[in-house]
């Protein structure tokens, strides 16, 4: 009404009441929805929080024997991380450990039991040593393994065998080739020289020590 007072105007025209304050909606970062959280959404969020917390716990608390070669980086285990005295010789490669000093010789062990008797050997060949019966003129009467006899000056004979007799023993005596027992005198035998391995030198003398030809018997024992 024209010219009326404000109080009168308010009584005549009722203005609508101011709208009630709407509570602020909760939203997740990055979500554009303006819907309220339902009970199921709240349960899902709690489950997600528990799962994330369990993963973080597992990341810092590992079960026993759960870490192997696959989980270790190259050169991850250093000397500082190895407990002193915890490694054995088998844990090192060949040649990585220094060789220790040689230990003292151990005590002699007990004598072992006797082994079985071996098979019998073949029959050996009966030894046949060289020998010679030489006449006073240097001719062989009978012999074994003798190559020849050479006569030099009076009472000097060289008897040559067919083998090395340098390490053998020589036996000689004055005696006829037959039954004549009247020969007397002296005899000696020795190697011809250091280079003669198969020959010996025989010297015969009379009872006065004079060189004289005499028949003799010679045996070589090896």
For the entire predicted model, the pTM comes to: 0.45
Query: Residue 28 above 70 pLDDT?
Result: no
| 148: β partners | 160
| pLDDT tens profile 44-68 | 777 777 666 655 555 556 677 777 7
Query: Residue 22 above 50 pLDDT?
Result: no
**136-142 mean pLDDT:** 94
DSSP 75-104: T-S-GGGSPTT---GGGS-TTSSPPPPPPP
3-state secondary structure of 58: helix
| pLDDT tens profile 97-134 | 788 888 889 899 999 999 999 898 887 767 789 999 99
């Amino acid at each position: 009404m024209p010219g009326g007072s404000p109080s009168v105007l308010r009584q005549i025209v009722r203005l609508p009441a101011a709208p009630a304050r709407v509570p602020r909606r909760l939203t997740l970062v990055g979500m554009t929805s303006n819907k309220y959280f339902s009970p199921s959404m709240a349960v899902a969020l709690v489950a997600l929080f528990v799962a994330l917390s369990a993963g973080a716990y597992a990341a810092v608390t590992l079960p026993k024997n759960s870490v192997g070669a696959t989980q270790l980086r190259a050169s991850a285990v250093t000397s500082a991380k190895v407990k002193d005295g915890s490694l054995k010789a088998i844990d090192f490669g060949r040649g990585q450990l220094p060789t220790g000093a040689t230990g003292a010789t151990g005590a002699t062990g007990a004598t072992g039991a006797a082994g079985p008797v071996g098979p019998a050997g073949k029959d050996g060949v009966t030894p046949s040593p060289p020998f010679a019966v030489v006449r006073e003129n240097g001719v062989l009467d009978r012999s074994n393994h003798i190559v020849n006899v050479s006569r030099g000056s009076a009472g000097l004979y060289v008897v040559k065998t067919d083998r090395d007799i340098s390490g053998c023993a020589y036996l000689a005596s004055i005696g006829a080739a037959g039954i004549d027992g009247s020969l007397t005198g002296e005899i000696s035998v020795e190697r011809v020289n250091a280079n003669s391995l198969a020959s010996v030198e025989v010297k015969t003398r009379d009872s006065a020590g004079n060189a004289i030809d005499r028949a003799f018997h010679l045996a070589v024992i090896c």
